[in-house]
Every structure is written in C-alpha cells, then in structure tokens.
Structure 1
C-alpha cells in the first residue's frame, strides 16, 4: 500500500521542483498542515545524500518561516481563544498565558524535536504573545537540530538505513501513522 507512495517520493526527490515542494510542506506543517515534512525529507535525503545538508537547510528555513505564520495565526486569534477558554473557566486564558510564558522555551525546544505537530507550538506561542524574537530563535534551534540530525544520520548511514526502511516499509508507514494520530490524541486529551 505504501510502496507506490514511497517510490513516488523517491522519484520526486530528483524532480526539478523537489526542494520547493519540500519547502511548501515544511512551511505548511508549521502552521496548518497535519503531515510532517519528514515524509518527504527522509526519502529525498536517501535519494540524494550528496545534498543532505541543503535539503535540511531548506526544510529548517521553511519550517521556521511557517512557524512565524503559525505564530501570526495564534496572535490574531487571541480574542477568540480568550472567549472560548473563559467560557469553560474564569481566568483560564490568563492561566494558560502565564504558564506558557514561563515554560514556553521548554515546550518549543522539546516539541520541535518530536513528531507532534509543530503548528500546535507555533499557534500557542502566538496566542500567548510569547516574545517573538525568542520564539524565532528557539524554533530555529529546535527545527535545525531535528532536520540536520536526520540529514547527518541518513548521509552517514544511508544505504543500510534505506535497505532497512525498504524491507519494512509497511511497518514504518503504519508506525508513523500511529505516532501522528497519537500525537494529535495526546494534545487533545492532555
């Protein structure tokens, strides 16, 4: 079931618009799209290990710019969020904002490394009016570490990793879907 999609992404890695497509997915994932850029980045790096760091740089830059857009979404929805949270509990929004501004740095750094959708952090940062320059700095660090680490590992161990993934493609694809859905569920119920 996943083989055709995997083969298509590998073919797209050599397409003249591959980096633009990756940038679009990375941008969108940081602000509104549910699928992380790893779905495209990993096969692209495996197909073009000589460009691993260029691919990671594009992915990082687009993710940070998309995060700025996600921040703006949250920032301009502050009144809506305040009204919704205050409906459930008095001072809920103020409590959220105080907690986020105290621990936001840790949330940004940790969640930026995980498969949990980064857009949740970017929008929450905007909602709480977290200091924008600090948000951009932390987002750049966490997304850069994530994407450059993946690129470095795939560049170094590409052939065995590619063989391992291809032999267990369905297992990886289903595992990724479970992690993605689990991430959304964790955010919704925690």
Structure 2
C-alpha cells in the first residue's frame, strides 16, 4: 500500500495541477499521510527553477496548516484518530513513554522533526495531545518547515539537477547532524 501511495505521489509531479497536489500532499503529510511532499517539491522546482521559492512557500503554508490539523487531532480526537495514526509508526507503549519526555522538549521536538526525516505528523499530533501552547507550536512549525523546504529550494535553484541526488539521499542526514551539533553545542555552552 505504501508503494502505491509513493508511486501515486511521484506521478502527480507531471499533473497540470501539480502545485495543488503538492499543497494537498504537504497538508496531509503533516497530519497522517506517510509520503513526504519532497517527492513533488523536487521535480516541480527542477521543472521551473525561477519559481523555486514560490513552490517552497506553498509547501510551508500547506505543511503548517496540516500540522495545525494534526495538532487538532491530538487535542480533540486522540483516542479515535491520533492514537491509531501514532501506533502505525510505533507501538502504544513507546507513544506513552514519548509523551512523558515530550512535554519537557516540545518546542525543540517540533523544530527537530520539522527539518529531519522524523515523521512530522507524530510531533503535530503529540503537540495537541500534550497540550503544547498552540502559538508556540505554530511558530516552531513555521520555522522548521521553512528551513527545510527553503533549503531544498535554494539548493535546487543554485545547483539544479546535479544536486538532486544529494537532497534525496543525504539532506535529511545533514539536517539530523546539524541538529545534533546544535544540541551538543547548546549543552556544552550550558555546562561549561
């Protein structure tokens, strides 16, 4: 089933209404869909590099709106919708254990999940479920998603198709390493 969703998402890059499809995928990916919008974002930017930042903007707005929907799922429909979505990514025990830790690092969790390959929908639902202040959630989601999508747009705008392989295979790792370095630097500064 995931393979079919992946293939469908990829095939939409050539659709006449691909920007609308991108917005739809970015929205649902932030709340329940397992396929990231990058599958559409990358070919759309490569096809129209002068519109790279407009395409990234559409991704940010739709992704944050989808994140708000995920937040609402967590806040008001966790038992019926949120928990089944989360347990499709991990078991119920790890969801409960994660909840205990999440309240301490909610803002950072949103920022980290927004730029790394970690499923953003998990964080959006957890943010609503744990009662993270909605304003904090939205601001951190905007910052994280803008960093991610505008980094992709910038790389494709300046380097074009040759950078595509790097983005698809290694950009998530680069963001993850950057987050680790930032967190290590924060703790080193705090305790030294």
Q: TM-score of the superposition, structure 2-length normalised? A: 0.70
1:31–1:161 distance in 2 versus 1, CA, 3 Å: same
Task: Note if 1:42 corresponds to 2:42.
Answer: yes
Which residue pairs with 1:123 in the alignment?
125
Following superposition, the deviation at residue 100 of structure 1 comes to 1.8
1:106 to 96, 105, 108: 108
Structure 1 75/5 Cα, relative in aligned 2: closer, same or farther at 3 Å? closer
Match of 1:160 among 159, 162, 165: 162
SS of the equivalent of 1:36 reads: coil
- Cα offset for 1:26? 0.1
Match of 1:21 in 2: 21
Distance 2:139 2:48 in 1: 29
Q: CA deviation at 1:131?
A: 0.6
Q: CA RMSD of the aligned region, Å?
A: 3.1
Name the larger-Rg structure: 1
Q: For residues 34-91 of structure 1, what are the alpha-carbon distances to aligned partners after superposition, in whole Å with 9 as ceiling and x for unaligned?
A: 000001101111111010000000000000000000000011135676xxxxx97xxx
Aligned with residue 14 of structure 2, among 8, 11, 25: 11
**Aligned in 2, Cα 1:72/1:155: closer, same or farther, shift over 3 Å?**
same
**Number of matched pairs:** 154
Name the structure, 1 or 2, with higher relative contact order (CA <8 Å, separation 6+): 1
Task: Name the structure 1 match of 2:63.
Answer: 63
8 Å contact from structure 2 (residues 9, 40) kept in 1: no
How far apart in 2 are the matches of 1:10 and 1:60?
18
CA distance in 1 between partners of 2:154 and 2:111 (Å): 20
